Structures are given as C-alpha cells and as structure tokens.
C-alpha cells in the first residue's frame, strides 16, 4: 500500500523492502510538502476532527510523511479513505 500511495502522490518511496514490516512512512504530496513541518500537526488534527481518521503525520528530515500501520482490522478501503482525505485537505 505504501508504494501505491507514494505513486498516487507523485512521491518516491525509498525505504528498503527489508525495513518495511507492518509500518511504513510515505511522503505526502508536494502541495503539502511546501508548507513545511508545521503542516504535520495541522493535517493530523484535521484528519481526526474532520474525517475521523487517526493517523500519525510527522516530519522526517524536513519532509511531511504519514505513517501507515497495517493491522488485522485495516483493509484497502481504509488506506483509500486516508488518501482521499489527504487529497481533499483544504490547505
């Protein structure tokens, strides 16, 4: 799923496969990246308040990422819902 979201957002996914387990961080779209590290808490709060999506949004080396955590209760529709919400975030 991390590869699919990175491709959707036009961002590289450079994490070595050996380091990908049940969690992976994906860089957010360029329109969010240009906002800088301050976008991380703002997007995280908006996702929770407006879309009822709990996701870890964080800055890694100056780039804003979302951390995907695959759990037994998640399915592809959950990640699609997250991607759609990120695409619709009114920055």
Q: Which range (7-16, 36-45, 50-59) has the least confidence?
A: 7-16
Lookup: tokens for 33: 């990246």
* Percent of the chain residues past pLDDT 90, beyond the cut: 73
Give me the mean pLDDT over the 58-77 stretch. Answer: 90
Sheet (strand 23-27) strand order: 23-27, 63-69, 56-60
**pTM, whole model, 2 decimals?**
0.89
Per-residue confidence band for 47, with pLDDT thresholds at 50, 70 and 90: very high
Lookup: tokens for 10: 């036009």
Nearest Cα to Cα of residue 25 among 57, 71, 62, 61: 57
Per-residue confidence band for 20, with pLDDT thresholds at 50, 70 and 90: confident
Please name the residue ranges forming H helices in 2-38.
2-8, 30-33
Instruction: Indicate the SS3 state at residue 18.
Output: helix
């Amino acid at each position: 799923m991390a590869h699919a979201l990175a491709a959707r957002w036009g961002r590289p996914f450079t994490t070595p496969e050996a380091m990908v387990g049940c969690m992976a961080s994906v860089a957010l779209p360029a329109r969010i990246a240009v906002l800088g590290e301050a976008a991380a808490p703002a997007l995280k709060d908006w996702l929770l308040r407006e879309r009822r999506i709990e996701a870890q949004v964080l800055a890694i080396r100056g780039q804003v990422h979302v951390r995907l955590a695959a759990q037994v209760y998640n399915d592809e529709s959950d990640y699609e819902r997250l991607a759609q919400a990120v695409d619709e975030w009114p920055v």
